[in-house]
């Protein structure tokens, strides 16, 4: 009888006759909905404060309507006439009409700014024309070039044609030191204007160096933390965490006090007779200052994941290796070190990602040679007002970090990452 | 096999002391000689110093004082990796990032052995513990018993003549533990290795060992074969630590060579064998194993003193009956009788007389 029941499954029902499967699904869906409602505020918070700004930045890096919105008629003319068409009277008429309208709406400077990104020195051309345009008489080709002969420049017209499209990849070109030649082909910018590629290289190289320094200093500290008796370990832990709880600005300025020419470190060295008075080391407002201060500031981010990985490794592993005939170095290299790789990966990734985007410390102690890409992004946001270029730089930074993350996943495996 | 003097010992501890903090001695004047091919167990409660002794022998702790010799050579200054001692750890300590095969190859690799020879030895060691199929697994994919076998194989793969085991079966369930006990015993016999085994499980110690060293308070309380240890404990600590044991406090009434009578608190007199009491009137603790107590008059030894007892509780345990009695004012007295044909089942409240052969009651120090 039991066999019969097993071979011929009866439809299970609830006591009031509904199919059990359906009733269970319904009961569970209610629980799932309730669970979703619990995380909904967090989800909304993340969407509003994290995802949407990133999407906006991404959009901004390829979309800049400053010219096309404020100069609609000349933009339309560019659309109707293919590249290479000599600007005719109709073009000038449209241009002047736009200048008049934009001048009245006080937006001509905005349009000029967009052209100015591509062709420095043209901003004033636009603001001046904006003021004078309404006094001009047809034929406009003649009267506008009379106002300023630069209006006849083929280069200017080439640039205006390019910026007349709101969607453009030009900011990405600029972000990697490339530009479009007047004929439309892509070329490198003149050597003395190349900034960004070098800065990216410097940022990544410095971040790698800082990560390495943090690992070098942090590994023994984390090992001690894991190996010492509780009493000493908690004291050491406080020493690690105390700077972590101190304001970033305080720590950075403390380094300024220590490292400057008349600072503590130099004075001690002079006092000890190691260097002469006129040989004071330049340790700040350069790459070295950035490196020292950032290594110190980011050290806890390396120590804590390492510690959390080392803590549960029982001492019997190394003992076993020793009893099996390994020297202490072999035991470390073959048995201990491989087990701390998840911590090295997590700490390294954390420190590297943080230092790639670090802003305050390089801005304060980096001087000219210690500036990182983030400082230039800040410059384009705050000073030059070229948000699209800032967005393009930031997007490249984001993409390279995602690439790194993907690479880490391929090589080590993201499931091995252990942050604490 | 059993080393009697330090001179023919394979492993010797000579006046070894150990202190971690410089205030308290964890090991106090340890003298121990272990013969080649012997299976010696260090047994004791936690904190008795047995693991410290094992760690000193392995080289992970240094002796504060005294000498440790291996095959006649002082090894106090020899680092652990040069001692060539195999060790099985409490939680196996199999390297989690290596496969079983790599774990076993590790001691051979660090000795600079070639790959083909390595593979052959690894295979032989795995076959020895019946784990030949598992060379490519990770330790985490194995059950506790399987990990235990691998740990054993790894400690043996480089042919050490001495193997140390630190509570290797502690994490296994009862059935598996018993099975592994026989397995380890079999390996010990077939390979002819010397084994020093640390455990706090007396059953394990009695089953496996040639000799057992009972540790307490940093000293060896008794070093003897399992049967001597159980039947002829030297002092109250050993008597109580090994097996179940009834204690009757009293004073020595008369003493005559290897026989004495003891007056209990309620005035009754019993027979006993003096062990570490020597004079009349001394305080003593008489120890009797529950299975050596007799309550059937026809089975009682000739001329034995009997005392009154009242049955408090009767427990049916299958192969045994365990009966708790009130004897001489204490109701903690236990007797065990085998469930043989026609065995009497005592009833609570029943009044009986009990007795024993004088050599089974040992008058020990009062603790």
Bond prior to A139 in cis (omega within 30° of 0): yes
Give the strand pairing for B259-264 and B246-256: antiparallel
Residue A2: its pLDDT value, please? 46
B110 CB neighbours in chain A (<8 A) are 324-327, 330, 334
Q: Do B81 and A325 touch (CB under 8 A)?
A: yes
- Chain A interface residues (partner B, CB cutoff 8 A): 314, 316-317, 319-328, 330-331, 334-335, 338-339
pLDDT score of B268: 84
What is the reported pLDDT for A220?
A: 96
Lowest mean pLDDT among A15-19, A360-364, B80-84, B148-152: A15-19
Residue with tokens 């990452």: A417
Mean pLDDT of B155-180: 90
pLDDT at res. A5: 47
**Domain architecture of chain B: domains with CATH:** 6-236 (3.40.50.300), 244-364 (2.40.50.140)
Bridge partners, B42 (sequence order): B198, B213
- Residue B152's pLDDT is 92
pLDDT at A237: 92
> At a CB cut-off of 8 Å and minimum separation 6, what does A145 contact?
A151, A152
Query: Do the chains contact at B111 and A334, CB–CB below 8 Å?
Result: no
The pLDDT score that the predictor gives to residue B294 is 85
Q: Identify the pLDDT of residue A330.
A: 94
- Over residues B350-367, the pLDDT tens digits come to 899 888 888 888 888 886
pLDDT at residue A273 in the model: 87
pLDDT, position B87: 94
End-to-end CA distance of chain B: 34
Radius of gyration of chain A (CA): 32
Stretch B188-199: mean pLDDT, rounded? Answer: 93
A to B CB pairs, distance under 8 Å: 67
Closest-CA distance, A239 to chain B, in angstroms, reads 26
Closest CA to A144 of A67, A74, A79, A76: A74
Task: Assess whether pLDDT exceeds 70 at residue B35.
Answer: yes
Residue in chain B lying closest to A319 (CA) = B60
Query: How far apart are the C-alpha atoms of B227 and A379, rounded to whole Å?
Result: 87
Distance between CA atoms of B340 and B342, rounded to whole angstroms?
6
Neighboring chain B residues of A325 at a CB cutoff of 8 Å: 81-82, 84, 107, 110-111, 158
Q: Which 3 state secondary structure label does DSSP give A10? A: coil
Q: Cβ(B271)–Cβ(B360) under 8 Å?
A: no
| Chain A residues touching B84 at Cβ < 8 A | 325
- pLDDT averaged over every residue in chain B: 89
Task: Report the share of chain A in percent with pLDDT over 90.
Answer: 40
Using the Cβ of B62 and the Cβ atoms of chain A, whether some distance falls under 8 Å is answered with: no
Give A304 to chain B, closest Cα distance, Å.
22
Q: Would the pLDDT of B115 be above 50?
A: yes
User: What does the pLDDT look like over A143-159, one tens digit per residue?
Assistant: 888 888 888 888 888 88
Confidence label for B163 from pLDDT (cuts 50, 70 and 90): very high
Query: How many angstroms separate the first and last alpha carbons of chain A?
Result: 56
pLDDT over 60 (residue B1): no
User: Who's near A146: CB < 8 A, 6+ residues apart?
Assistant: none
- For B139-147, which contacts have Cβ atoms below 8 Å and span 24 or more sequence positions? B139/B92, B139/B94, B139/B95, B139/B96, B139/B98, B139/B100, B139/B103, B140/B96, B142/B100, B144/B171, B144/B172, B144/B173, B144/B176, B145/B172, B145/B176, B145/B179, B145/B180, B147/B92, B147/B94
Tell if the CB–CB gap between B85 and A323 is shorter than 8 Å.
yes
Q: What HEC string does A54-87 produce? A: HHHHHHHHHECCHHHHHCHHHHHHHHHCCCCCCC
Q: Where does residue A403 rank: exposed (0-12), middle (13-18), buried (19+ CB within 10 A)? A: exposed
Q: Note the pLDDT tens digit of each residue in A224-237.
A: 999 999 999 999 99
Q: How far is residue B308's CA from residue B362's CA, in Å, rounded to a whole number?
A: 19
Task: Identify the residue among B54, B56, B80, B155 best suited for mutation to test binding to A, counting A beta carbons within 10 A and taking the highest.
Answer: B80
Tell me whether 0.85 is exceeded by the ipTM: no
Q: What is the mean pLDDT of chain A?
A: 88
Q: Rg of chain B's alpha carbons, rounded to an integer?
A: 24
Q: Distance between CA atoms of A193 and A175, rounded to whole angstroms?
A: 12
Beta strands, E only, A279-407: none
Structure tokens, A26: 């319904």
- Position B2 scores a pLDDT of 56
A252-266, B126-140, B263-277: least confidently modelled range: B263-277
Q: Check whether B344 has a pLDDT greater than 60.
A: yes
Q: Tens digit of pLDDT for each residue in A49-106?
A: 999 999 999 999 999 998 988 899 999 998 888 887 888 888 999 998 999 999 888 8
Distance of CA B128 to the CA centre of its chain: 26
B12 vs B19: CA distance, rounded Å: 19
Q: What is the pLDDT of residues B95-109, one digit of tens each?
A: 999 999 999 999 999
Banded model confidence at residue B265, pLDDT cuts 50, 70, 90: confident
What pLDDT, on a 0 to 100 scale, did the predictor assign at position B3?
53
Q: How confident is the model at residue A417 (pLDDT cuts 50, 70, 90)?
A: low
Judged by CB atoms closer than 8 Å, whether chains meet at B58 and A323 is answered as yes
Smallest CA–CA distance, residue B195 to chain A, in Å, is 15
Minimum distance, in Å, between the CA of residue A271 and any CA atom of chain B: 43
pLDDT of residue A352: 94
Domains and CATH numbers, chain A: 2-62 (no CATH), 66-168 (no CATH), 196-416 (1.10.3720.10)
pLDDT at site A294: 93
pLDDT at A419: 62
User: Parallel, antiparallel, or unpaired: how do β-strands B39-43 and B194-199 relate?
Assistant: parallel
pLDDT mean over A385-412:
90
From residue B301, alpha-carbon distances to A172, B361, B363 in Å are 106, 13, 18
Q: What is the pLDDT of residue B103?
A: 94
Distance from CA of A247 to the nearest CA of B (A): 40
More confident residue, B311 or A278: B311
A323:B90 CB<8 A:
no
pLDDT tens for each residue of A277-286: 888 888 888 8
Instruction: Say what the pLDDT of residue A420 is.
Output: 57
Q: Which of A317, A319, A326 sits opposite B60 (nearest CB)?
A: A319
Share of chain B above pLDDT 90, in %: 50
Question: How confident is the model at residue B14, as a pLDDT?
Answer: 92
């Amino acid at each position: 009888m039991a066999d019969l029941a097993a071979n011929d499954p009866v439809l299970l029902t609830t006591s009031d006759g509904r199919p059990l499967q359906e009733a269970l699904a319904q009961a569970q869906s209610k629980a799932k909905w309730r669970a979703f409602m619990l995380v909904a505020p967090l989800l909304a918070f993340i969407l509003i404060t994290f995802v949407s700004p990133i999407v906006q930045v991404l959009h901004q890096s390829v979309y800049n309507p400053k010219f096309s919105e404020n100069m609609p008629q000349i933009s339309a003319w560019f659309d109707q006439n293919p590249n290479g068409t000599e600007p005719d009277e109709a073009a000038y008429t449209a241009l002047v009409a736009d200048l008049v309208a934009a001048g009245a709406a006080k937006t001509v400077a905005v349009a000029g700014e967009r052209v100015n990104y591509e062709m420095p020195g043209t901003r004033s051309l636009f603001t001046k024309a904006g003021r004078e345009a309404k006094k001009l008489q047809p034929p406009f080709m003649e009267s506008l070039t009379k106002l300023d002969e630069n209006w006849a420049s083929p280069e200017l017209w080439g640039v205006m044609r390019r910026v007349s499209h709101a969607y453009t990849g030009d900011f990405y070109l600029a972000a990697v030191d490339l530009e479009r030649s007047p004929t439309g082909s892509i070329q490198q910018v003149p050597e003395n204007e190349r900034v960004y590629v070098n800065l990216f290289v410097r940022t990544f190289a410095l971040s790698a160096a800082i990560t390495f320094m943090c690992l070098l200093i942090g590994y023994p500290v984390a090992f001690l933390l894991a190996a010492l008796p509780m009493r000493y370990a908690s004291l050491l832990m406080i020493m690690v965490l105390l700077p972590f709880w101190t304001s970033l600005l305080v720590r950075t300025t403390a380094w300024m006090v220590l490292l400057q020419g008349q600072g503590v470190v130099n004075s001690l060295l002079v006092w000890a007779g190691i260097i002469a008075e006129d040989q004071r080391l330049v340790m700040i407002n350069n790459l070295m200052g950035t490196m020292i201060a950032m290594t110190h500031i980011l050290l806890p981010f390396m120590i804590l994941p390492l510690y959390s990985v080392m803590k549960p490794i029982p001492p019997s592993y190394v003992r076993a290796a020793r009893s099996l005939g390994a020297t202490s170095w072999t035991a470390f290299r073959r048995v201990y070190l491989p087990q701390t790789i998840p911590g090295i990966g997590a700490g390294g990734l954390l420190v590297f990602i943080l230092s790639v985007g670090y802003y305050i410390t390089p801005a304060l102690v980096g001087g000219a040679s210690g500036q990182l890409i983030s400082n230039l992004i800040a410059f384009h946001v705050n000073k030059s007002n070229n948000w699209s270029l800032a967005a393009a730089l930031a997007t490249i930074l984001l993409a390279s970090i995602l690439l790194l993350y993907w690479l880490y996943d391929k090589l080590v495996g993201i499931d091995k990452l252990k942050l604490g | 096999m059993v080393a009697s003097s330090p001179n023919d010992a394979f492993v010797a501890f000579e006046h070894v002391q150990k202190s971690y903090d410089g205030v308290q001695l964890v090991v106090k004047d340890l003298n121990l000689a272990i013969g080649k091919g012997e299976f010696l167990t260090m047994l004791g409660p936690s904190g008795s110093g047995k693991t410290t002794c094992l760690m000193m022998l392995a080289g992970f702790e240094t002796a504060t004082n005294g000498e440790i010799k291996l095959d006649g050579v002082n090894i106090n200054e020899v680092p652990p990796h040069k001692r060539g001692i195999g060790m099985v750890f409490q939680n196996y300590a199999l390297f989690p990032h290596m496969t079983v095969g790599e774990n076993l190859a590790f001691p051979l690799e660090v000795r600079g052995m070639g790959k083909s020879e390595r593979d052959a030895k690894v295979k032989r060691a795995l076959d020895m513990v019946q784990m030949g199929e598992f060379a490519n697994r990770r330790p985490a994919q194995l059950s506790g018993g399987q990990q235990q076998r691998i740990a054993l194989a790894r400690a043996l793969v480089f042919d050490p003549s001495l193997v140390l085991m630190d509570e290797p079966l502690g994490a296994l369930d009862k059935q598996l533990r018993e099975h592994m006990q026989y397995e380890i015993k079999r390996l010990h016999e077939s390979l002819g290795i010397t084994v020093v085994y640390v455990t706090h499980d007396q059953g394990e110690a009695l089953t496996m060992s040639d000799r057992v060293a009972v540790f307490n308070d940093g000293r060896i309380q008794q070093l003897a074969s399992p049967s001597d240890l159980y039947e002829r404990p030297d002092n109250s600590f050993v008597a109580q630590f090994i097996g179940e044991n009834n204690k009757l406090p009293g004073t020595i009434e008369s003493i005559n060579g290897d026989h004495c009578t003891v007056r209990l608190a309620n005035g009754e007199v019993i027979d006993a064998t003096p062990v570490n009491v020597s004079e009349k009137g001394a305080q003593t603790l008489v120890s009797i194993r529950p299975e050596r107590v007799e309550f059937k008059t026809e089975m009682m030894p000739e001329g034995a003193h009997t005392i009154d007892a009242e049955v408090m509780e009767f427990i049916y345990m299958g192969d045994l009956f365990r009966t708790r009695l009130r004897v001489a004012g204490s109701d903690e007295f236990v007797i065990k009788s085998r469930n043989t044909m026609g065995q009497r089942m005592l009833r609570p409240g029943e009044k009986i007389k009990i007795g024993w052969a004088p050599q089974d009651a040992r008058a020990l120090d009062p603790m």
